[in-house]
């Protein structure tokens, strides 16, 4: 994965009493064999990490806790749960496969836990008021079509200019093929012979890239 310098971003720092989205993605969005064989939707492959980053900007440490996406056009209220949520992933980079309604999904929620010390802990949260204009996200989006499988990138923290979400990516065909092979081993019932490399598109949380 290639790492770039991070642009300066503004979030809203909440107190330690901030509530994370309580949503079990595995219960509703996974590609279990039963769901896969009975629903004509799209499959999204994504990797995320909530591993603790030490010395993250001015903070002692930080962790990516939640990312949310709305199916666009979004008419959800400020406190509504996004259509897709990736919750805390503290055990390093984990691969996820989500079965989703076809369409474009805009990022609508980010939560990052930050600590200056053991007793000074809070959350940097960005919600729809910061990320969504009208019915579309200004933070970025990805698209999945019916009947296709698409890889949208690797999500993790970047600390170059303070803790922020960043979309990394696999940068060569060999690495991508190996990555898809991990999914083939984990989900042998999926047809993964034509996985589309179509990154989450953003000007704030990553850079454009097309697989050679």
pLDDT tens by residue, 81-103: 899 988 876 677 888 899 899 99
Calpha distance 143→103 (Å, rounded): 6
User: What is the Rg, in whole angstroms, of the alpha carbon atoms belonging to the chain?
Assistant: 17
Calpha distance 165→183 (Å, rounded): 24
By the 8 A CB rule, do 113 and 66 touch?
no
Instruction: Kindly report the number of other CB atoms within 10 A of residue 127's CB atom.
Output: 19
Element (H, E) at 153: strand 149-158
Question: Residue 103 has which token pair?
Answer: 């369409």
pLDDT of residue 25: 39
By the 8 A CB rule, do 82 and 21 touch?
yes
Mean pLDDT lowest among 28-37, 71-80, 134-143 = 28-37
> Minimal CA–CA distance to 34: which of 181, 190, 193?
190
Mean pLDDT, residues 43-54: 92
> Minimal CA–CA distance to 2: which of 161, 196, 153?
153
Q: What are phi and psi of 65, to 5 degrees?
A: -105, -40
pLDDT of residue 16: 26
By the 8 A CB rule, do 122 and 179 touch?
no
Predicted model pTM: 0.84
Calpha distance 56→62 (Å, rounded): 6
> Minimal CA–CA distance to 66: which of 90, 31, 92, 91?
90
């Amino acid at each position: 994965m290639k790492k770039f310098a991070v642009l300066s971003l503004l979030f809203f720092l909440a107190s330690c009493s901030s509530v994370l989205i309580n949503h079990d993605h595995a219960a509703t969005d996974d590609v279990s064999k039963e769901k896969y064989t009975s629903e004509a939707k799209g499959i999204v492959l994504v990797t995320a990490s909530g591993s603790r980053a030490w010395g993250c900007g001015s903070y002692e440490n930080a962790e990516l806790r939640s990312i949310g996406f709305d199916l666009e056009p979004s008419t959800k209220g400020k406190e509504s749960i996004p259509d897709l949520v990736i919750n805390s992933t503290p055990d390093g980079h984990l691969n996820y496969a989500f079965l989703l309604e076809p369409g474009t999904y805009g990022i609508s929620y980010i939560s990052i836990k930050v600590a200056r010390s053991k007793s000074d802990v809070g959350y940097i949260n960005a919600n729809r008021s910061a990320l969504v204009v009208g019915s579309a996200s200004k933070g970025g989006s990805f698209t999945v079509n019916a009947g296709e499988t698409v890889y949208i990138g690797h999500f993790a923290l970047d600390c170059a200019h303070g803790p922020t979400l960043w979309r990394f990516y696999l940068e060569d065909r060999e690495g991508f093929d190996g990555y898809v092979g991990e999914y083939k081993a984990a989900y042998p019932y999926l047809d993964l012979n034509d996985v589309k490399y179509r990154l989450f598109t953003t000007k704030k949380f990553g850079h454009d890239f097309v697989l050679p």
